[in-house]
Protein backbone atom coordinates (compact mmCIF):
# COMPACT_ATOMS: atom_id res chain seq x y z
CA UNK A 1 0.00 0.00 0.00
CA UNK A 2 1.51 3.38 -0.97
CA UNK A 3 1.64 6.49 1.23
CA UNK A 4 -1.42 8.16 -0.34
CA UNK A 5 -3.54 5.04 0.28
CA UNK A 6 -2.35 4.96 3.91
CA UNK A 7 -3.35 8.61 4.36
CA UNK A 8 -6.70 7.96 2.70
CA UNK A 9 -7.45 5.01 5.03
CA UNK A 10 -6.44 6.88 8.18
CA UNK A 11 -8.43 9.92 7.10
CA UNK A 12 -11.56 7.84 6.39
CA UNK A 13 -11.22 6.22 9.83
CA UNK A 14 -10.95 9.62 11.53
CA UNK A 15 -13.96 10.93 9.60
CA UNK A 16 -16.22 8.25 11.09
CA UNK A 17 -17.89 9.08 14.38
CA UNK A 18 -15.49 8.37 17.25
CA UNK A 19 -18.23 6.91 19.47
CA UNK A 20 -19.26 4.50 16.70
CA UNK A 21 -15.61 3.44 16.34
CA UNK A 22 -15.31 2.96 20.12
CA UNK A 23 -18.47 0.84 20.19
CA UNK A 24 -16.99 -1.34 17.44
CA UNK A 25 -13.84 -1.89 19.51
CA UNK A 26 -11.48 0.15 17.35
CA UNK A 27 -8.35 1.49 19.04
CA UNK A 28 -8.32 5.28 19.30
CA UNK A 29 -4.90 6.88 18.82
CA UNK A 30 -3.96 9.86 21.01
CA UNK A 31 -3.71 12.15 17.97
CA UNK A 32 -7.17 11.21 16.68
CA UNK A 33 -8.82 14.43 15.43
CA UNK A 34 -12.05 13.55 17.27
CA UNK A 35 -10.44 12.57 20.60
CA UNK A 36 -11.54 15.90 22.14
CA UNK A 37 -15.17 14.74 21.78
CA UNK A 38 -14.62 12.02 24.42
CA UNK A 39 -13.56 14.65 26.97
CA UNK A 40 -16.45 16.96 26.04
CA UNK A 41 -18.94 14.09 26.40
CA UNK A 42 -17.50 13.16 29.81
CA UNK A 43 -17.99 16.70 31.11
CA UNK A 44 -21.57 16.74 29.82
CA UNK A 45 -22.20 13.44 31.60
CA UNK A 46 -20.64 14.82 34.78
CA UNK A 47 -23.25 17.60 34.90
CA UNK A 48 -26.05 15.02 34.92
CA UNK A 49 -24.15 12.83 37.40
CA UNK A 50 -23.93 15.71 39.86
CA UNK A 51 -27.72 16.02 39.76
CA UNK A 52 -28.28 12.27 39.95
CA UNK A 53 -25.83 11.71 42.80
CA UNK A 54 -27.53 14.44 44.84
CA UNK A 55 -31.05 13.14 44.19
CA UNK A 56 -32.87 11.17 46.88
CA UNK A 57 -36.01 10.22 44.96
CA UNK A 58 -35.59 6.82 43.18
CA UNK A 59 -37.65 7.97 40.19
CA UNK A 60 -35.50 11.07 39.75
CA UNK A 61 -32.37 8.90 39.91
CA UNK A 62 -33.78 6.60 37.20
CA UNK A 63 -34.86 9.55 35.05
CA UNK A 64 -31.41 11.12 35.20
CA UNK A 65 -29.75 7.75 34.54
CA UNK A 66 -32.04 7.41 31.50
CA UNK A 67 -30.68 10.73 30.23
CA UNK A 68 -27.09 9.67 30.91
CA UNK A 69 -27.49 6.32 29.12
CA UNK A 70 -29.83 7.65 26.41
CA UNK A 71 -32.09 4.65 27.10
CA UNK A 72 -35.08 3.95 29.29
CA UNK A 73 -34.23 2.69 32.77
CA UNK A 74 -37.01 0.39 33.94
CA UNK A 75 -38.83 1.21 37.19
CA UNK A 76 -37.67 -2.18 38.57
CA UNK A 77 -34.05 -0.93 38.56
CA UNK A 78 -32.63 0.34 41.88
CA UNK A 79 -29.49 2.47 41.98
CA UNK A 80 -27.94 3.59 45.26
CA UNK A 81 -25.92 6.69 44.43
CA UNK A 82 -23.23 7.81 44.08
CA UNK A 83 -22.59 6.13 40.73
CA UNK A 84 -19.77 7.32 38.48
CA UNK A 85 -19.91 6.99 34.68
CA UNK A 86 -17.51 8.61 32.23
CA UNK A 87 -19.79 8.58 29.16
CA UNK A 88 -23.06 6.70 29.69
CA UNK A 89 -24.49 6.22 26.23
CA UNK A 90 -22.69 2.89 25.81
CA UNK A 91 -24.25 1.46 29.00
CA UNK A 92 -27.35 -0.71 28.69
CA UNK A 93 -29.20 -1.84 31.84
CA UNK A 94 -31.91 -4.51 31.93
CA UNK A 95 -34.81 -5.00 34.36
CA UNK A 96 -34.65 -5.89 38.08
CA UNK A 97 -31.03 -4.71 38.27
CA UNK A 98 -29.61 -3.54 41.60
CA UNK A 99 -26.54 -1.28 41.69
CA UNK A 100 -25.19 -0.48 45.14
CA UNK A 101 -23.24 2.57 46.36
CA UNK A 102 -20.05 3.94 44.88
CA UNK A 103 -19.68 1.99 41.61
CA UNK A 104 -17.62 3.17 38.64
CA UNK A 105 -18.49 2.45 35.00
CA UNK A 106 -16.03 3.35 32.23
CA UNK A 107 -18.28 2.55 29.29
CA UNK A 108 -16.72 3.93 26.11
CA UNK A 109 -16.14 0.31 25.03
CA UNK A 110 -19.70 -0.69 25.98
CA UNK A 111 -21.29 -2.19 29.10
CA UNK A 112 -24.34 -4.46 28.96
CA UNK A 113 -26.01 -5.44 32.24
CA UNK A 114 -28.78 -7.99 31.71
CA UNK A 115 -31.94 -8.59 33.80
CA UNK A 116 -31.63 -9.56 37.44
CA UNK A 117 -27.97 -8.59 37.89
CA UNK A 118 -26.84 -7.52 41.37
CA UNK A 119 -23.82 -5.23 41.69
CA UNK A 120 -22.37 -4.66 45.18
CA UNK A 121 -20.68 -1.47 46.46
CA UNK A 122 -17.47 -0.15 44.91
CA UNK A 123 -17.58 -2.37 41.82
CA UNK A 124 -15.61 -1.11 38.81
CA UNK A 125 -16.66 -2.03 35.26
CA UNK A 126 -13.81 -0.86 33.02
CA UNK A 127 -14.47 -1.34 29.30
CA UNK A 128 -11.37 0.64 28.37
CA UNK A 129 -7.68 -0.23 28.45
CA UNK A 130 -4.34 0.79 27.01
CA UNK A 131 -1.53 -1.03 25.18
CA UNK A 132 1.38 -2.21 27.34
CA UNK A 133 4.09 -0.78 25.03
CA UNK A 134 5.12 2.63 26.45
CA UNK A 135 5.20 4.29 23.02
CA UNK A 136 1.57 3.25 22.36
CA UNK A 137 0.18 3.52 25.88
CA UNK A 138 -1.78 6.73 25.32
CA UNK A 139 -3.99 4.94 22.79
CA UNK A 140 -7.41 3.82 24.06
CA UNK A 141 -8.40 0.18 23.54
CA UNK A 142 -12.17 -0.33 24.00
CA UNK A 143 -13.63 -3.82 24.55
CA UNK A 144 -17.17 -4.39 25.75
CA UNK A 145 -18.19 -5.88 29.09
CA UNK A 146 -21.26 -8.13 29.22
CA UNK A 147 -22.84 -9.22 32.50
CA UNK A 148 -25.46 -11.88 31.86
CA UNK A 149 -28.75 -12.56 33.65
CA UNK A 150 -28.81 -13.01 37.43
CA UNK A 151 -25.05 -12.60 37.87
CA UNK A 152 -23.88 -11.19 41.20
CA UNK A 153 -20.77 -9.03 41.33
CA UNK A 154 -19.31 -8.84 44.85
CA UNK A 155 -18.11 -5.71 46.63
CA UNK A 156 -14.98 -4.00 45.35
CA UNK A 157 -14.64 -6.37 42.37
CA UNK A 158 -13.09 -5.07 39.15
CA UNK A 159 -14.24 -6.33 35.74
CA UNK A 160 -11.74 -5.50 33.00
CA UNK A 161 -12.41 -4.71 29.36
CA UNK A 162 -13.53 -7.50 27.06
CA UNK A 163 -14.93 -9.71 29.85
CA UNK A 164 -18.27 -11.56 29.84
CA UNK A 165 -19.71 -12.74 33.17
CA UNK A 166 -21.88 -15.82 32.66
CA UNK A 167 -25.51 -16.24 33.61
CA UNK A 168 -26.14 -16.88 37.35
CA UNK A 169 -22.42 -16.63 38.13
CA UNK A 170 -20.95 -14.96 41.21
CA UNK A 171 -17.78 -12.87 41.33
CA UNK A 172 -16.37 -12.88 44.88
CA UNK A 173 -15.67 -9.60 46.66
CA UNK A 174 -12.33 -7.99 45.84
CA UNK A 175 -11.74 -10.05 42.69
CA UNK A 176 -10.10 -8.79 39.50
CA UNK A 177 -11.69 -10.42 36.44
CA UNK A 178 -9.60 -10.34 33.28
CA UNK A 179 -11.06 -13.39 31.47
CA UNK A 180 -14.56 -14.57 30.64
CA UNK A 181 -16.50 -16.32 33.40
CA UNK A 182 -18.74 -19.25 32.36
CA UNK A 183 -22.37 -19.65 33.44
CA UNK A 184 -23.25 -21.01 36.90
CA UNK A 185 -19.92 -20.71 38.71
CA UNK A 186 -18.38 -18.80 41.61
CA UNK A 187 -15.05 -17.14 40.79
CA UNK A 188 -12.64 -15.29 43.05
CA UNK A 189 -9.11 -14.01 43.44
CA UNK A 190 -6.66 -11.89 41.48
CA UNK A 191 -6.69 -12.98 38.76
CA UNK A 192 -9.92 -14.89 39.23
CA UNK A 193 -10.25 -18.65 39.09
CA UNK A 194 -13.29 -20.90 39.42
CA UNK A 195 -13.93 -21.74 43.06
CA UNK A 196 -17.02 -23.90 42.59
CA UNK A 197 -19.96 -24.66 40.32
CA UNK A 198 -23.45 -23.57 41.26
The span from the CA of 154 to the CA of 190, in Å, is: 13
Residues 84-121 as b/e (b if ≥16 CB within 10 A, e otherwise) read: ebbbbbbbebbeebebbebbebbbbbbbbbbebbbbbe
Structural element, H or E, at residue 9 = helix 3-15
Indicate which residue of 130, 138, 146, 161 is catalytic: 130
User: Does the annotation mark 138 as catalytic?
Assistant: no
* Entry field: residues in the chain: 198
Catalytic residues: 130
Amino acid sequence: MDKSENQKNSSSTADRDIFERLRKGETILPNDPQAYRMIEASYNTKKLLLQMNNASDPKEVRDLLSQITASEIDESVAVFTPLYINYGKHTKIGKNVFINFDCTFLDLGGITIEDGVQIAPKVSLLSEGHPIAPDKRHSLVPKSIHIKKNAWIGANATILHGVTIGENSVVAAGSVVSKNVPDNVVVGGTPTKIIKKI
